[in-house]
């Protein structure tokens, strides 16, 4: 990727403390359209805190965020979503008893009026859900009308991503451990889903502990340790050994001999 291409998102000089704990120190991040960026590191490395600053859950003590080159200030998640940045966390936050269209439009339900009386536009929401899944997420979902609890893990991920895409003009999608607790087939389907979203021109940021999965889908890997970014590598030019060495703070040979 050309360095001249402006990132769709950049974070610079991000500091975030909780009392005496410095969770993120001079944090930075760049995400480009049509790219998967993985953020890796041990527990407590600062990954989640940096992402929660990005999505408006936390406000940084210092630093700046730019979206499309313009300064952005996120007081809450709604500000972040309105700027085109959303996150899908491990629990997916789906309503299990509702079908996919109702979950995709949750909080943004469409209505039609019949003789002046408003009714949910279930047909319209179903039709639009099919379009979003096919055109913006890149999947065909069987069982669209059954409760979400009956869907597979990969299908549930697709519904949660479709809801994020529907909420605003999505530019950046954050996925927190997207294949955690999934079986091999569902893991493959979810990784294919990540690639599909990337290919639609959306910048995808994934947080993961699994380097095998990271190298399967990511274009770049950002390593954090002790609240700091300690390295960013291109997966095509790096190895899992090198990334593991950055995670634990040791030379590759030392890691292999341990």
Residue given tokens 């039609």 in the structure block: 112
pTM: 0.87
pLDDT for the residue numbered 169: 80
pLDDT for the residue numbered 89: 86
How many beta carbons lie within 10 A of that of residue 196, not counting itself? 17
pLDDT for the residue numbered 189: 85
Token reading at 256: 């292999």
The torsion angles phi and psi of 44, rounded to 5 degrees, stand at 85, 5
CA 255 distance to own-chain centroid:
29
Residue 250 pLDDT grade (very low, low, confident, very high; cuts 50, 70, 90): low
What distance in Å separates the CA atoms of residue 45 and residue 173, rounded to the nearest whole number? 21
Residue pair 249/225 in contact by the 8 Å Cβ criterion: yes
pLDDT for the residue numbered 4: 54
What distance in Å separates the CA atoms of residue 82 and residue 99, rounded to the nearest whole number? 25
Which tens digit of pLDDT belongs to each residue from 65-109? 999 999 999 999 999 999 999 999 888 889 999 999 999 999 888
Which tens digit of pLDDT belongs to each residue from 159-195? 999 998 887 688 999 999 888 877 888 888 889 989 9
* DSSP H or E stretch at residue 234: strand 228-234
% of residues, the chain, pLDDT over 70: 95
CATH topology (fold) of 9-93+170-257: Rossmann fold (3.40.50)
Which tens digit of pLDDT belongs to each residue from 210-235? 999 999 999 999 999 999 999 999 99
Residue pair 109/120 in contact by the 8 Å Cβ criterion: yes
């Amino acid at each position: 990727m050309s360095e001249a291409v402006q990132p769709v998102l950049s974070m610079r000089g991000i500091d975030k403390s909780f009392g005496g704990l410095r969770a993120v120190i001079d944090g930075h991040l760049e995400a480009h359209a049509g790219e998967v960026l993985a953020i890796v590191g041990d527990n407590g490395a600062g990954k989640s805190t940096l992402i929660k600053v990005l999505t408006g859950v936390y406000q940084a003590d210092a630093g700046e965020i730019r979206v499309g080159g313009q300064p952005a200030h996120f007081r809450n998640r709604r500000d972040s979503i309105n700027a085109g940045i959303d996150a899908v966390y491990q629990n997916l936050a789906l309503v299990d008893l509702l079908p996919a269209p109702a979950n995709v439009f949750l909080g943004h339900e469409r209505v039609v009026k019949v003789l002046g009386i408003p009714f949910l536009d279930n047909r319209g929401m179903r039709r639009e859900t099919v379009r979003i899944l096919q055109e913006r997420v890149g999947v065909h979902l069987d069982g669209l009308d059954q409760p979400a609890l009956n869907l597979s893990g990969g299908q549930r991920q697709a519904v949660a991503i479709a809801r994020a895409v529907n909420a605003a003009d999505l530019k950046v999608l954050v996925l927190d451990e997207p294949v955690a607790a999934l079986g091999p087939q569902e893991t493959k389907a979810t990784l294919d889903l990540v690639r599909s979203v990337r290919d639609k021109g959306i910048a995808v940021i994934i947080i993961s502990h699994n380097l095998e999965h990271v190298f399967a889908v990511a274009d770049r890997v950002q390593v954090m340790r002790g609240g700091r970014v300690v390295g960013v590598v291109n997966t095509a030019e790096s190895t899992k050994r090198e990334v593991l060495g950055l995670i634990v703070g040791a030379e590759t040979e030392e890691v292999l001999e341990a």
